[in-house]
Amino acid sequence: MVFLISLVALWLSVQVGALFRTKRPMEEDERHDFDIVLTATLTLLGLIIGFSFSMVVSRYDQRKNYEEAEANTIGTEYVRADLLPAADATTVRELLKNYIDQRVLFYRTRDGSELARIDAQTTKLQAELWSAVQATAAKQPTPTIALVVSGMNDVLNSQGYTQASWWNRFPIPAWGLLMVIAIFCNVLLGYGSRRNEIVLFLILPLAVSISFFLIADIASPREGLIRVIPQNLLSLHQSLQSE
């Protein structure tokens, strides 16, 4: 959608600029000043696209880092479950295995209704996990049990950090700024051309539209082609299932 809309809008902008040129041709003594404005505008567009790409890539890296941190905290808590009494340890381990299943589904699903079910199941498992360690801590308030409680708190917090990073999207006003400057650039390009060249008029809109497509794709953690694969959670899931 972003690619098609931006491509059509920018191509039309070039045509609008070319139409202005036919209505009010540029004088030769204006060419030098116009080239300065066009170069400065194109440079500004390139810088903003570069900054935008850097923003979405940093958010993508953040989502990957939180996935790794989440797998580490769950794996650590699974090991710390050995510090609990045998019955409680078995309960916590089984709950953590089910919890990992839901976290993997969170990364993989694209369906909104399925995501709502996953979130509800995740919340339920979190409550059960906390109740399991809280009951033991109430009976045995020892430093060893406190370590398990602290680890469970990290597990719950890591899910919150992950969710926050997925909500941290590319700002809508930034999209508006990108599009406005891109339209200005293409209007100037059409106005400054000496003749109508369909192929040449398509190069800049196509290049900018591809850039917008990449920014939108990386900024969409669930809908895009470039997605975070839960490799660490999958690896942890496989290792725990083999026990």
Length of the chain in residues, anyone? 243
Q: Which residues contact 103 (CB under 8 A, 6 or more apart)?
A: 70, 74, 122, 159, 230, 233
Spatial separation of the C-alpha atoms in residues 2 and 218, rounded to whole Å = 12
187 and 9 Cβ atoms separated by less than 8 Å: no
> Does the residue 174 lie in any domain?
no
Residue 216 belongs to a domain: no
pLDDT level of residue 110 (50, 70, 90 thresholds) = confident
pLDDT at 31: 80
Is the pLDDT at 198 greater than 80, yes or no?
A: no
In a domain, 16, yes or no: no
CA angle, corner 94, sides to 91 and 99, nearest 5?
120
> Picking from 8-12, 78-82, 104-108, 197-201, which range would have the lowest pLDDT averaged per residue?
197-201
Q: Is residue 154 domain-resident? A: yes
Split into its structural domains, the chain has a count of 1
What are the helix (H) ranges across the chain? Answer: 2-23, 31-80, 86-108, 112-139, 143-167, 172-192, 198-219, 231-241
Per-residue pLDDT of 209-219, as tens digits, reads: 999 999 999 99
User: Would 77 be classed as within a structural domain?
Assistant: yes
15 assigned to some structural domain: no
User: Rounded mean pLDDT of 144-158?
Assistant: 91
Q: Is residue 25 part of a domain?
A: no
Contact 166, 67 (CB under 8 A): no
> Within a domain: residue 94?
yes
> Is residue 184's pLDDT more than 70?
yes
Predicted confidence at residue 97, as pLDDT, reads: 92
Task: From residue 121, give the alpha-carbon distance in Å to each of 110, 186, 188.
Answer: 17, 50, 54
pLDDT bin (cut points 50, 70, 90) of residue 243 is: low
In degrees and rounded to multiples of 5, residue 221 shows phi and psi of -65, -25
Domain that holds residue 111: 68-160
**Band of the pLDDT at 73, cuts 50, 70, 90?**
very high
